[in-house]
Amino acid sequence: MAAKVLIIEDEEKISRFLELELTHEGYEVKKSADGREGLDLALAGGFDIVLLDIMLPGLNGLEVIRRLRKVSDVPVIMLTARDAVMDKVSGLDMGADDYVTKPFAIEELLARIRVTLRKNERKAEKTSSSLLECGKLRLDSAAYTVTYDGNPIELTKREFAMLELMLQNKNIVLSRDTFLERVWSYDYIGETNVVDVYVRYLRGKIDDVYGINLIKTVRGVGYVIKDESHEE
Ligand code: CA
């Protein structure tokens, strides 16, 4: 599946150029020219990497990454101005994975994207073999088991995949489209309410049985599992 790149850059010339080059390289590209909108898109999830300008309308890039890092580990490469040393330092401090200095050679950026994606894949492989947890709920993707407070919960393959996706993206609201893409198939054609149906199944097996409110509905957006220790 093509890696998805989110470009948050207000300079139309640069973002269009990036879109062309990245699309040509086989990436799937989404653009935003506004910091606030870009942050919302990044928070909605589904991207493999974010290219982030610093000077942006709405919300500057440093603020975007600061807020993004509270809930998301999506790799971020900053696009910084040549002499803005402080921006690079602050950006990296705030959790950016890498940066390129404008004007950049596209080959350099492409190489950095590949390296960053590979690093992240390796990280994902490590974590995917380990346990996912939320409170007393534990999901072991290697052993294919789910327990609540030690009690086994029997899930179907799809229910398991949905729960796994939500636990991998704790605190990130996942849209119905995201579920359809990741759990069903990329080009699933059908009713999006199949997602709601499966959330009901999951709630019936977890929330209702243990009297908890694990899977939260975000009206008009989708579903999220929140790490309670993470709440502000
Ligand atoms: Ca800019």
Provide the residues around ligand 1 (an ion) whose CB is within 5 A. 10, 53, 55
Asked if 9 and 53 count as a contact pair (C-beta separation under 8 A), the reply is yes
Predicted confidence band of residue 141 (pLDDT cuts 50, 70, 90):
confident
Predicted pLDDT of residue 231: 43
In 3D, which of 210, 47, 26 has the Cα closest to residue 8?
47
pLDDT tens-digit profile of 45-59? 889 999 999 999 999
Model confidence at 62: pLDDT above 60: yes
**CB-based burial, 137-154: b 16+ in 10 Å, e otherwise:** bbbebeeeebebeeeebe
Q: What whole-number distance in Å separates Cα of residue 161 and Cα of residue 89? A: 38
CA–CA dist 224, 136 (Å, integer): 17
CA 31 to centroid of ligand 1, rounded, Å: 13
- In the block, which residue shows the tokens 């939500």? 166
pLDDT of residue 146: 95
CA distance 63 to 232: 17
Residue 58, classed as helix, strand or coil, is: coil
Residue 189 is predicted with a pLDDT of 66
The conformation of residue 154, written as its DSSP 8-state character, comes to -
Q: What is the pLDDT of residues 147-186, one digit of tens each?
A: 999 999 999 988 999 999 999 999 999 999 889 888 886 5
Please tell me the distance from the alpha carbon of residue 67 to that of residue 38, in angstroms, as a whole number.
12
Instruction: Indicate whether 4 pLDDT > 80.
Output: yes
Tell me the backbone φ, ψ of residue 187, rounded to 5 degrees.
-110, 35
Question: For the residues 86-94, what does the mean pLDDT come to?
Answer: 81
Name the band, by pLDDT with cuts 50, 70 and 90, for residue 126.
low
How far away, in angstroms, is 51 Cα from ligand 1 center? 12
Q: Is the pTM of this model over 0.75?
A: no
Q: Are 146 and 209 in contact (CB under 8 A)?
A: no
- pLDDT reported for residue 186: 54
Ligand 1 centre distance from Cα of residue 121 (Å): 29
Q: Tell me the CA–centroid distance for residue 171 and ligand 1, in Å.
A: 29
Domains defined for the chain, CATH in brackets: 4-129 (3.40.50.2300), 135-230 (1.10.10.10)
Q: What is the DSSP letter of 2?
A: P
How far does the centroid of ligand 1 lie from the alpha carbon of residue 70, in Å? 23
Q: What residues are paired with 140 via a beta bridge?
A: 131, 145
Q: Give me ligand 1 centre to Cα 10, in Å.
A: 5
CA 102 / ligand 1 centre spacing (Å):
10
80 CA from centroid of ligand 1 (Å): 9
For residue 33, how far is its CA from the centre of ligand 1 (angstroms)?
A: 8
d(CA 180, CA 58): 31
Distance (angstroms) between ligand 1 centre and the Cα of 3 equals: 24
Alpha-carbon torsion 45, 46, 48, 51, what sign? negative
User: Which amino acid type is present at position 207?
Assistant: D
Q: How far is the CA of 118 from the centre of ligand 1 (A)?
A: 27
Q: Ligand 1 centre and the CA of 74: distance in Å?
A: 21
The fraction of the chain above a pLDDT of 70, given in percent, is 93
Cβ–Cβ under 8 Å, residues 106 and 77: no
* The pLDDT value given to residue 128: 59
CA 40 to chain centroid, in Å, comes to 11
* Mean pLDDT, rounded, for 55-77: 94
- Which 8-state DSSP code applies to residue 103? S
Convert the pLDDT of each residue in 188-232 to its tens digit: 666 768 899 999 999 999 999 999 999 999 998 999 999 875 444
Give residue 210's pLDDT.
Answer: 94
Q: List pLDDT tens digits, range 10-29.
A: 999 999 999 999 999 999 99
Output the CA 11–ligand 1 centroid distance in Å: 6
